[in-house]
Amino acid sequence: TLPSKVKLVDVGPRDGLQNEKQMVPAAVKIELVQRLQQAGLKEIEVTSFVSPKWVPQMADAAEVMAGITRQPGVRYSVLTPNLKGFEAALATRPDEIVVFGAASEAFSQRNINCSIAESIERFRPVVEAARANGIYVRSAISCAVGCPYEGEIAPERVEMVARLMKGIGVQHCGVADTIGVGTPIKVQRALDAALRHFAIDDISGHFHDTYGQALANTLASLQMGVWQFDTSVAGLGGCPYAKGATGNVSTEDVVYLLHGLGIETGIDLDRLVDAGQYVSDFLGRKPNSRVATALLNK
């Protein structure tokens, strides 16, 4: 049986915008967060406290966090790759932080400039400080099924990183198909590997839609009992260190799927489409979502 309720984290303001070439003003990011919460999103990944030399688009992280109007019942998360990022993030009072590692050595080097083992040592004091401050710690394991540099990734690699993350006190494991190459059984194997160290309630799927498999992968995850997913409004996004990878599966498409399955999300699809159109208009393109396109053309 499928879960009766699903939690979606909209990562659009972060994963969605981090790779945009044109600078998106903080005010637009803040308005996007506002529209997402008005659409009923209860979890929003707002920004990342990373090096502005590496990801210029996220240089306004503190400004965006300071500018959002917090709504009771909504949780706001941010990415923190190291203590420097965590300290800057802490001042902006996030509910949750994300430490992001990878199941691929080559991707770890390209994305965060260190090996997998070094990344865990870098995350250790971040996790400790976050938990001491009562901040929930989520992890992301990039390239959980495939890597742009190493090709296919074995589930054992995911199992290893999940074990290391658990060992430093991380509370939640996000299994990420960074470049959207996964197909249902491969994704289920990666989730199974993470499930060896994290409970089903502490696991989420983060699927990019490069090859159009993300909805199928979402359904395959639901069938395992996974009920938490990262999605991106208007299908925004891509990782600057994963060339050619497109955005996350669009929140609109996943909401349509879930509602069609009789699963509760608390999200108003029309208002969500409006949020996606707002940011797409700013970017000068159409929303990258089949459901949004269908509803806007109705």
Residues in contact with Mg ion by the rule CB under 5 A: 15
Residue closer to ligand HMG, measured from CB, 51 or 293: 51
Q: Is 278 in the site for ligand HMG (CB under 6 A)?
A: no
Q: Is 100 in the site for ligand HMG (CB under 6 A)?
A: yes
Residue recorded with tokens 């992890």? 139
Q: Which two tokens stand for residue 247?
A: 């955005």
Residue closer to ligand HMG, measured from CB, 55 or 273: 55
What 31-34 contacts at long range (C-beta under 8 Å, 24+ apart), as own/partner pairs, is: 31/278, 32/233, 32/275, 32/278, 32/279, 33/64, 33/68, 33/76, 34/68, 34/69
- Rounded to the nearest whole angstrom, what is the least distance from the CB of residue 38 to ligand HMG in the complex? 24
Residue closer to ligand HMG, measured from CB, 232 or 277: 232
Binding to ligand HMG in span 5-24, by CB under 6 A: 15, 18
Residue closer to Mg ion, measured from CB, 18 or 295: 18
Binders of ligand HMG: how many residues, by CB under 6 A?
25
Distance in Å from the first CA to the final CA of the chain: 33
Beta strands in the chain (DSSP E): 7-10, 43-48, 75-79, 96-102, 136-142, 146-147, 151-152, 172-177, 203-207, 228-231
Binding segment for ligand HMG (CB under 6 A), chosen from 106-114, 213-221, 257-265, 285-293, is 106-114
Among 178, 213, 218, 221, binds ligand HMG (CB under 6 A): 178
Residue closer to ligand HMG, measured from CB, 96 or 277: 96
Q: Is 119 in the site for ligand HMG (CB under 6 A)?
A: no
Of 223, 253, 211, 281, give the one whose Cα is nearest residue 8.
Answer: 253
3-state helix, strand, coil in the chain (%, to 5): 45, 20, 35
Q: Annotated catalytic, 239?
A: yes
User: What, of ligand HMG, Mg ion, none, does residue 92 touch, CB below 5 to 8 Å by kind?
Assistant: none
Q: Which amino acid is at 181?
A: V
Q: Which amino acid is at 75?
A: R
139: β partners: 99, 173
Write out the residues near ligand HMG by the rule CB under 6 A: 15, 18, 48-51, 54-55, 79, 81-82, 84-85, 100, 111-113, 140, 142, 176, 178, 206, 208, 239, 241
